[in-house]
Amino acid sequence: MKKVRIGSVGLGRLGYEHAKNIASMIPNAELGALCDVDEANLKKVANELGVSNIYIDFEKMCRRPDLDAIVIVSPSSLHPEQIKIAMENGKHVFCEKPLGVTVEACKDAEATVEAHPDLKFMLGFMRRFDPSYMNAKKRIENGDLGRIILIRGYSVDPISSIENTIAYGPHSGGQFLDMAVHDIDLIRWLTGSEPDRIWALGGCYEFEEFASWNDGDNVSCTMQLKDDTMAFIFAGRAAPHGSHVETEIIGTKGAIRISPVPTPDLNVYYDEHGVRQEAYQDFMMRWQQAYINEITEFCDCIIEDRTPPVSVYDGTATTRIAYRCKESFESGSKLLSMD
Ligand SMILES: NC(=O)c1ccc[n+]([C@@H]2O[C@H](COP(=O)([O-])OP(=O)(O)OC[C@H]3O[C@@H](n4cnc5c(N)ncnc54)[C@H](O)[C@@H]3O)[C@@H](O)[C@H]2O)c1
């Protein structure tokens, strides 16, 4: 089988994970080059993964003729420009979410992708590639839930990582763009519909620092979709129990709850605290398989000449909705139309 030879940029929290997966967990991929501006970390990761082609300059990596594709896991604000550089050098692109940190930047990325119809582009909304979410989507399409009434998305980071979260916060684009964007994507994907009206709430309930970049440590948004489905999302940064992403889909014939108990194993502990299960402590562990599946699918799309299932337009749409949520939150929770 042909392998897609990949150059990967950004070797931080998630970039390191993607690089490890490409190097050893994805059968149709090979890791041909690495890029990061942090030279010490770049050398360390390259050494660990046995990669000899390393770059501080992204454009130089993209000029390598032996690379088929670029995986972008750099800070979100760099995505549109790096997509452009990669595609202008003839590379297929997988880019982490969000597509860009403004709607205008997303439009620039759309223009780049449209200018290169011969190249594949895929955005990293990995929840769509998690086996439980894939199963739920199939059941919805099969009509098992009847008409969808409400989707509830719940995404919280653990308090154990609050220092990192606060350090990353000012550059993240805020909770709606950085975190809730995954739930926004799920709502669009699971219903096939788009938000019509939105009403966002939130505040600093524990960590006032979030207010200094106009964000909240806990935020939420209620939406009415164009097909009248109701949706509710909650995003938090300091859950005492762990890293928890849960989605509930309520239909006229039944409901599905995906991961109401966010536990990595089947063990139930009986001790002085009572009867309990342990929770995931980081998102990496929860989405391990989904991260592998999404890059595998990206490579398959290149090899089989198929259109990738998450498009540049999904990136713009989710960013636009996230900003509208942010606008509602910042305006003191005005009810806003998406038009
Ligand atoms: N899908 C998910 O579940 C998920 C989870 C976490 C992060 N992300 C996304 O992944 C991206 C990276 O997030 P992270 O948490 O790994 O960030 P990070 O800050 O941990 O890592 C970013 C890396 O990019 C490097 N970098 C910065 N500027 C660069 C440049 N000009 N050229 C090359 N390298 C450069 C930094 O040195 C760092 O190693 C973000 O867009 C984020 O939204 C997605």
Structure confidence by residue, pLDDT tens digits, 294-306: 999 999 999 999 9
CB 86 within 8 A of CB 93: yes
Best residue for ligand 1 mutational test, from 11, 13, 61 (most atoms within 8 Å of Cβ): 13
For 4-119, CATH gives 3.40.50.720
Q: Look up the pTM and report it.
A: 0.96
What integer pLDDT is reported at residue 330 of this predicted model? 96
Q: What is the pLDDT of residue 64?
A: 98
Q: Which residues lie below 8 Å from residue 58, measured CB to CB, with a gap of 6+?
A: 9, 35, 74, 82, 85
Q: Is 36 in the pocket of ligand 1 (CB under 6 A)?
A: yes
Do 245 and 259 contact (CB within 8 A), yes or no? yes
Q: Identify any residues that bridge with 154 across adjacent strands, giving them in sequence order.
A: 234, 246
Closest atom, ligand 1, to C-alpha of 126: 1
Ligand 1 atom showing the smallest separation from residue 14 Cα: 16
Question: What are the residue boundaries of the structural domains of the chain, listed by start?
Answer: 4-119, 128-289+318-337
- Which ranges of the chain have pLDDT less than 50? none
* Joined tokens for residue 111: 């223009």
Phi, psi of 71, deg, nearest 5:
-110, 120
Measured in angstroms, how far is the CA atom of residue 70 from the centroid of ligand 1?
Answer: 14
pLDDT at 172: 87
- Is there an atom of ligand 1 within 6 Å of 245 CB? no
Give the closest residue (by CA) to ligand 1 atom 15: 13
CA distance 124 to 122: 7
**The pLDDT of residue 306:** 98
> How many other CB atoms sit within 10 Å of the CB of residue 43?
13
**CATH of region 128-289+318-337, choose from 1.20.140.10, 3.30.360.10, 1.10.287.3510, 2.40.50.140:** 3.30.360.10
Residue 199: what pLDDT?
Answer: 98
